[in-house]
Every structure is written in C-alpha cells, then in structure tokens.
A and B are shown apart, each in its own frame.
Chain A
Amino acid sequence: MLTGQDPVAAYGALVSGALGSDGRIGETLINTIPLILTGLAVAVGFRGGLFNIGAEGQLLLGALVAAAVAPVWGVPPLLGIPLLMLFGAAAGAAFAFIPGILKARLGANEVITTLMLSYVAFYISEYLIVNPLKEPGVLPATALIAEADRLPRVSDAMAAVGLVEPGGQLLGRLHLGLLVALLVAAAIAYLFSRTVPGFSIRLLGLNPEAARYGGVPIGRTIVMTMMLSGAIAGLAGVIQVLGVNYRMSSSFSPGFGFTGIAIALLGNVSAGGVVLAAGLFGMLQTGGQVMQRTAGTPSSIVTIIEGLVIFFVAVQLYLPTARLYRWSLRLRRRRS
C-alpha cells in the first residue's frame, strides 16, 4: 500500500509465486533447503546458549571446499558427493572452532567473533574466486561442476528407482539436498531429545552452573556445540554448490546464514519448528521474486518481514534472556 500497489494482488502473487505450480513448489523447496540447515545451525548454537551469528561464514567455507574440489578430483559421484558433504561440514566445523575455543578459554563474546570471522570468510572466498580458482571468462567464478558430479534432481532420482517416468520434470530443479536437510533435522531432533551429548548441551544453555554441578565439561561442550553448528552451516554451503549453483561466484549467498537466525528464533529453536519456519521463509523468498516481477513489489519486503519477525520474537522471548542473565552472572563471578 505504501508503494501504491494493490496488496491483495501482491500477496496473491506471493502465494501463487511460491506454490502456484509444480515447478514453483520446487523452487520454493530449493530456497528452503539452505534455510533449514542454517536455521538448524543457529538453533543448535542457541540450545547451548551460544549465538552463532557467523553461520554465513561457515557456509561460505563449506561451499568453497565443494566448489574448489569437485571439478578437479575425479572421484565418482556416488562416493564423491557424500565425501564433499563431509569435507564441507568439517570446514565449517573447523572455522567455528575458533570462536568456540575463544569463548571457552577467554570468555570472548561469540557474537562478535563469529560475525567478524564471517567477514573474513567472505573476503577469503572472494580472493580465491577472483584469483587462483577463477575460471577464464568474464565473471569471477570457479569452475563449473560437471553434470555427473552434481546432486541429482529429485525427478531424476525417482525415475532411477522407477517411481516416475524418466525425463519428467517433477518439482523442477529440486535436488536431493532436501533429503539431506530433512535427515539432518531429524538427527538434530533426536540428538536433543534422546542423547547424552544433547542433554549436556541443553544443560549448558539453560543453566551453566547447574551443568557444571552435573559434571558437564563446560569448555569442551562449548567448543563441541560451536563445531556442530559450524558443521551444519558448512554442509549448507556444500549442498548449495552441488545442487543449485554448481560453482561459486561473488554473489553466492544472499545471506542464508543471517536468515538462519530469524528461522531459528521463529522455529522456537526446535528442529521441527525450524523446518516449518524455513518453509515459510522459502515461500517468502520465491514468492517475493515473483511478486516483484508481476506486481512490482520490491523483494526487500521479505527482508523487512524477516527483521520484524526477529524483533517480535525477541520482545516476547524471555527464556533466552534468562539464560543469558545466568550466563552473565557466572561470568561476573569468574571475573570478580
């Protein structure tokens, strides 16, 4: 309305843009996949009382690994793709190790360290894209990954197992990364509800002093939580490269890592909630682009909605406040 457009038409375009056709649903889901993962990454951090604001940087590193290695190493995809996911996750974990250890040993505020490192990651990847890894051509980008080495489309995979006709276009470009993302979500849900390490992380996040009393090794748990968070973010980067972009260029990520923060909060830090919230934002993103084309409404609306979501969730969410409060109490006692 502010921009003189018909809101009904605009939102209609949003929804139909997101879900209007089989191909569009595919696009929505494609946008959802990295958001599920970054949302999970940030949520894992939150569970442990840590703010991994720099998931973006970890994502970039994971993507770098995949984009650099995949075109040249000649490993057959059946083995290569899972291995790359592993490497990318490891890269993200290693990158997140730094703020983790700084926090555990020195009490360094991870909001700033993870954020600063994400800028570092951005510049490092930019340098690598522009120089050593650059493919000849106009755009600075890495080599294109051969078709065989990419994450297969859902339609192709289903055709391979005989569920649909080969050559079909079911769900458009949607790739198997969706499966991976959902598996990770299930694994995280399981981690926190049924496992010992998950319980340790939850204790740390809710009451670090009681956690110490309960025998949880605080420093080690902080580092482990950050590394897990970084690993998931790194995985997101790998999947984006292998499933969508097939290469890495300067404008690789439209801020998936940062959107992940909103998603984690909106999903109330639970795995299921994150998946749903990611779905919502995926719809917003896809629908937003269509909305822009047809109704002329700028896509920045989506970012604004994102910001409002975080804001309103922040104002209502007393639990993290209480957590931080107790955490800061403990830090104060350690300092004094």
Chain B
Amino acid sequence: MRGISKHFGSVHANTSIDLDIHPGKVHALLGENGAGKSTLMNILAGFVRPDAGQVEIDARPLPLADPRAAIDAGIGMVHQHFQLVPSLSITANVLLNDEPQSGLFIDEAAAHQQVAELCRRFGLAVDPRARVRDTTVATQQKVEILKVLRREARVLILDEPTAVLTPSEVRELFAFLVELRAHGTAIVLITHKLPEALGIADRLTVLRGGRVIATKDPTSLTTQDLARMMVGREVLLDVAKPSHEPGDVVFAAHALAARDDRGMQALQGVELEVRAGEIVGVAGVDGNGQTELVEVVAGLRPASSGTIEWLGETIEDLSVLGQMRRGIGYIPEDRRSRGLVLEMDLRANVILRRFREEPLSKGLQLDRGVIDRQTRTLLDRYGVTASPDTAAANLSGGNQQKIVVGRELLDAPRLLIASQPTRGVDIGATQFVYDQLVAARDRGAAILLVSFDLDELLALSDRLVVMYRGQINARFANTAVSQEELGAAMAGSVSGARA
C-alpha cells in the first residue's frame, strides 16, 4: 500500500501511509483506538475508498473500494464485529450465498461435507451443524476465519481478534496463525495489545494519529518502546496527581453477583471497596463483568445476590433514582445511546438525570430559568461554545463527553462511576476529563474508573483491581505495577496481589 490517505469529515483517519506485507509473515499493526488501523485495513479489503494512494498485489494494481476484487485477489478480513447470521448454522454461514444445490434445494449434506473438509484443511475444529448463536465467541471467530480462508486468502487480516478471547483461546488462535504462516499466508494482525504483538509478529508497524510512526523488526523492542511510540503524547504524562489520603469507605460490595442480558452469570462474588478521595481503576478484558458491575452500582441492573453498602449501610432498594439521590454519578460507556438524547437540545441533556429534583423542577413543573442558567454555566465552565438550543447530535464527540461528564459533576457526587470516559474523544477533551476526575477526587469524591486503556488506568488510579470472569482476581495498592503484571492478571492468572 502506497500513500494511502483517507479522511472522514474533519477527521484524518489515514495520512500518506505506506505499508508492505510479505507472504508467510505476521505483520502486526499497532496503535491506539482511533489511530487509523481499521480504516487502513478496510481500504485494503475494499470496504472503504481512500482519498489518495494505491494498493498493489504482486506488483499489479488492485481496484479500490471493491470488496469482490479484493476477495478475488486473495485478501480477506475478519472484522471486530462479526458478520454472521446467528440463527443459521455454521455451515450455512460459511457457505452463505454460495450454497451447493441439488435441483432447486440446498444440498445440506454436501454443504456440511464442504465445511468439514475446510476444517480439516485448515486445522480448525468446529461443529458445522451447530447454530451460530449457540456457540462461543471464539468459535464464531473461527467461522469468520473459515469464511475468509475458503476463498483462498493469501492475506488474512484480523482486526483486534483477541479482544473477545480467553487466554487459552488466544493461545489456540496464535497456534493456528503460526501454522497458517508456515503455509505461506500473509497475516496482518490489528491490535493494541503490546505483549501479543511482540509475541507473534515478524514485523510491526505503529500508527498514531493516522500516520506511520515506525515500521520495525520486533526482536529488539520492548513493550515500553512500543507504548511510547503508540501513545507519544505529552498530555498523558501531565496528569498532575498530587498524592491524596483517602477517607472513609463510601461504597462497598460484598459477594455481589448478577446476571447479564442473556441470563448468564456475569458477576460472581465481587468484593470491592471505594473510599472517599480515591480513584479505583478497574482493568480487564471486555466482557469479564465490568459492564454489569457498573450497571449494578448505578442501579440499572439488579443484583442476583450479595450486598451493596453505602456509607456503611446496606442498600435495600437498588434503583437508578435511588443511587442518584444518594449522590452517585454515572458516566456511561456509550454516550450516544445511553448518556445523551441526541435529538434533544443541550438543556434537555444537562437535566437528563436530575430533572425530577429541585431546583430544576418544583413538583411537576420544570423551572426553565434555572435549567437555562445551569446549562449556560456548564457550557461556559467547560469551554463548549455552543448555544443551549443546539441539538446534542451536532456537537463533536469530545464536547458531547464534556456535557456528560460536566453534568454528572454538577452536584458534586460522592461516588462517581466513570466507564470508558475517554472513548472516542479527542486529546483536548481527554485532558479535560482527566483533570475533572482528579479534581473531583481531590474534593473528596470516590471514583470508580473502568477502562480498557491501561495507560489511562495507570495514570489516574490510586488503586487498581482486575476483573476476570466476573470476579476480582487481582488488586494492586499503588500503581507502581507494570503492564505485564496487569496483562497477566487480565489474562487470568491470580497474581500475588500487592493489595
């Protein structure tokens, strides 16, 4: 790929990127969220049209923005969000739109045969007759890989494949990739997980802000080198966090258990304490119960067993309103679908949680004057230059997040839950969020910070816990803990906790 550039509106996802991919090698594409890795690979696979640049396969130019051409050239991509039909069988999914027929009907037997053959050929073990929705995420990933490989892929692109896998599944995947590599397939691995990249890659390219920072041979590199290349922003190093003595326990959970949306056990026996004036960071691979933990504490999800204590007393009636009234603020991880009502104006979004309370309303009536004043104050204080009449949808992601964060801080909450608070947010707004969190802590708030960004957690937290399979399996009292230790805990090893 040469000189690839692509912008979406004012966001420059890729700027003049050059990339060489060699057969029989694993090439890791590293970078943070938003660095442009997925966009670049989507261009390669023909799903996105670049603004500039070209792609060549075997020195021949590849038609761009043409998924069919890419597939014919042997390029296959497995996306982060699988594109499978859950109600159909694995065979049906693999052979979708290419089903073997006998007469008018689909030849099911022949289809299963084909898939079984594919499994044998590529060394992947799945049950072709199983329905996709009944299978594990790891199996679904194998199905996606099968879909790609059966088209004689010479380049297999995997976008964050390990984000959803358990450690043993990751090992299985990498063993498979090693085999595949031996057969001459080129593999591109998009990831933001440094240890993995170092473990399997033959070459690495680091992207940051849409540009190539470096392309290197990984043998001499350490994770610190990589982290520095990936993050490289002074901003992060500037989290001025004076040490602060935590106060009393504000919130505690004992033997907390809860189920997820599918009825499976998401939390099993969580023990957690948060004190006033401290930031507790919750680390862990997505899907290990963090979402459910946050929802239970915020009152959005009932606990199936265990107790929650607030200021030393057990909470009997867990509800969103109840938690709010106790002074618990919640910055949700998905501001677009949960944190904001995009169609409504900024005033409505500022009062989203507290419109029932004085002074925003008296009895049944909303006090427009107070609402307007509070909104303007918030906009002013946090530097959002927009009129209160603007629809929330018209703000940038960073400004939207400022509204959400600012709103939750308005009433000086005693406990603030922040879930992925800087996801999809530009640098300036990220700095803002960090400053607000630290300031709140210094004012005595207890903060529960859940994030997939280890740097963020390490920079902000006073204490760290790691969630694995619905439990807290590691605690670290201070943040003088290495990424490797964290990574190991996140992958399941119960470390000797320095708690």
* A, B co-complexed: yes
Residues on A facing B (Cβ under 8 Å): 194-197, 199, 202-203, 206-207, 209-210, 212-215, 319, 322, 326, 329, 333-334, 336
Q: Is the CB of B366 within 8 A of A212?
A: no
Shortest B62–chain A CB gap in Å is 35
State which of A196, A213, A322, A333 has its C-beta within 8 Å of the C-beta of B320.
A213
> What would 10 more interface pairs be, CB under 8 Å, given A196-B361, A334-B261?
A194-B365, A196-B366, A197-B364, A202-B344, A206-B341, A207-B341, A213-B298, A213-B338, A215-B320, A215-B321
Q: A199-B355, A215-B321, A215-B324 are in contact. Are A210 and B341 (CB under 8 A)?
A: yes
Q: Is the CB of A215 within 8 A of B356?
A: yes
Q: Is the CB of A196 within 8 A of B261?
A: no
Q: Is the CB of B355 within 8 A of A196?
A: yes
B168 within 8 A of A: no
Q: Is the CB of A210 within 8 A of B364?
A: no
Q: Which residue of A lies closest to B133 (CB)?
A: A336
Q: DSSP majority for the A interface?
A: helix
Residues in A neighbouring B343, C-beta threshold 8 A? 206-207, 319, 322
Q: Is the CB of B364 within 8 A of A196?
A: yes
Q: A207-B342, A333-B261 are in contact. Are A214 and B353 (CB under 8 A)?
A: yes
Q: Is the CB of A214 within 8 A of B364?
A: no
Interface pairs A-B: 9 shortest CB-CB: A215-B321, A215-B320, A207-B341, A214-B352, A213-B338, A210-B341, A209-B338, A214-B353, A206-B341
Shortest A72–chain B CB gap in Å is 37
B368 within 8 A of A: yes
Q: Which residue of B lies closest to A332 (CB)?
A: B261
Q: Which residue of B lies closest to A335 (CB)?
A: B261
A334 to B260, CA, bound (A): 10
Residues in A neighbouring B338, C-beta threshold 8 A? 209-210, 212-213
A68 to B261, CA, bound (A): 49
A127 to B346, CA, bound (A): 53
Shortest B422–chain A CB gap in Å is 19
Shortest A25–chain B CB gap in Å is 36
A209 to B337, CA, bound (A): 7
Residues in A neighbouring B332, C-beta threshold 8 A? 213
Q: Which residue of B lies closest to A323 (CB)?
A: B343
Residues in B neighbouring A207, C-beta threshold 8 A? 337, 340-343
Q: Is the CB of A213 within 8 A of B353?
A: yes
A-B contact pairs, 17 of them (CB 8 A): A194-B368, A196-B361, A196-B363, A202-B348, A203-B352, A210-B338, A210-B352, A212-B338, A213-B298, A213-B332, A214-B352, A214-B353, A215-B324, A329-B337, A333-B261, A336-B133, A336-B262
A170 to B338, CA, bound (A): 55
Q: A196-B355, A215-B321 are in contact. Are A210 and B339 (CB under 8 A)?
A: yes
B272 within 8 A of A: no
Residues in B neighbouring A319, C-beta threshold 8 A? 343
Q: Is the CB of A213 within 8 A of B330?
A: yes
Shortest A323–chain B CB gap in Å is 8
Residues in B neighbouring A212, C-beta threshold 8 A? 300, 320, 338
Taking CB atoms and an 8 Å cut-off, the chain B residues in 354-407 that contact chain A are 355-356, 361, 363-366, 368
